[in-house]
Amino acid sequence: MNQIADHYRHRVETSESTDFLAQVGHTLNGQAVAPAHVEAMKQQIVDVLDLAEGDHLLDLGCGNGVFTVDLVRITGSGLGLDLSPSLIELARTHHSTVGLDYVAVDLKALAANPAGLDKRFNKVLMHAALQHFQPHGFGALLDSVLDRCEPECTLFFALVPDSSKRWTFYNTLERRVRYVWERFRGRHLFGYWWSPRYVEQACRERDLEINFPPVPQILDSARYRFGIKIRRTDPQ
């Protein structure tokens, strides 16, 4: 079993069956984040993607759909993709709505065109999942996603761990030592830390507009994460 899928299967098995936020790691000090924080995250997605009825939303790494369902209630159409079969099963059971489909798929294989993904999307979200991807693979990921998008489209990668702020996350000696030790063993406990530089370069090469919306201040993770908004405009 893939390590990441295994990690989330374990989270599902060790969380309450309806603790949807804990199942996908939206926790603070071991507890699901507060409703006001969830609202702030959702509102930022709606604002950055300028979501409206008639949009076709692609949610990459959608988890158990705890965010996806409310977003697709706005757009009326969407597709959630996730590596974890356990999370996709929960999404289908608890977070379905008209116009929303969920597919279990590894996004690293998106370029191979898995069945059912021939739709054209104009809004793309990856919420709190980019840490599972290696920065040097960003160009390939971007190309495989843009291949499924309309000529004019907006992408939002939210809650990306910022490599320049990693020591504000590993903020005690014990956490730092553990982090350095795990890295020495080749393990990335939290996933990968990103620099805006990787993303800027890939966007420049593809003629894409880019900016970095900050994480809403109400969230603890504003200390060490950032957002990435990418726009492709129709050359016609």
Ligand X SMILES: C[S@@+](CC[C@H](N)C(=O)[O-])C[C@H]1O[C@@H](n2cnc3c(N)ncnc32)[C@H](O)[C@@H]1O
State both tokens at 188: 């990335």
Residues that bind ligand X (CB under 6 A): 4, 8, 24-25, 61-63, 66-67, 81-84, 87, 106-108, 127-129, 132
| Least Cβ distance, residue 235 to ligand X (angstroms) | 30
What is the closest distance, in whole angstroms, from the C-beta atom of residue 177 to ligand X in the complex? 25
63 vs 161, which CB is nearer to ligand X?
Answer: 63
User: Which residue number, 187 or 204, has a Cβ lying nearer to ligand X?
Assistant: 187
Smallest distance from ligand X to CB 233, Å: 26
CB atoms under 10 Å from CB of 2, counted, come to 12
CB of 86 to ligand X, least distance (A): 9
Nearest to 67 by CA among 48, 39, 101, 28: 39
Dist. CA 99–CA 209, nearest whole Å: 29
Q: Which is nearer to ligand X, 1 or 173 (CB)?
A: 1
Give yes or no for a contact between 204 and 214, defined as CB atoms under 8 angstroms apart. no
| Beta carbons within 10 angstroms of residue 7's beta carbon | 13
Min dist. Cβ of residue 205 to ligand X (A): 23
Give the span between the Cα atoms of 23 and 16, in whole angstroms: 8
Tokens standing for residue 190: 């939290």
Nearer to ligand X, 7 or 223 (CB): 7
Q: Which amino acid is at 13?
A: E
Distance CA 109, CA 141 (A): 9
Q: How far apart are CA 66 and CA 13, in angstroms?
A: 17
Chain-centroid distance, C-alpha 67: 11
Residue number closest to ligand X, CB atom? 63
d(CA 219, CA 217): 5
Q: Which is nearer to ligand X, 56 or 132 (CB)?
A: 132
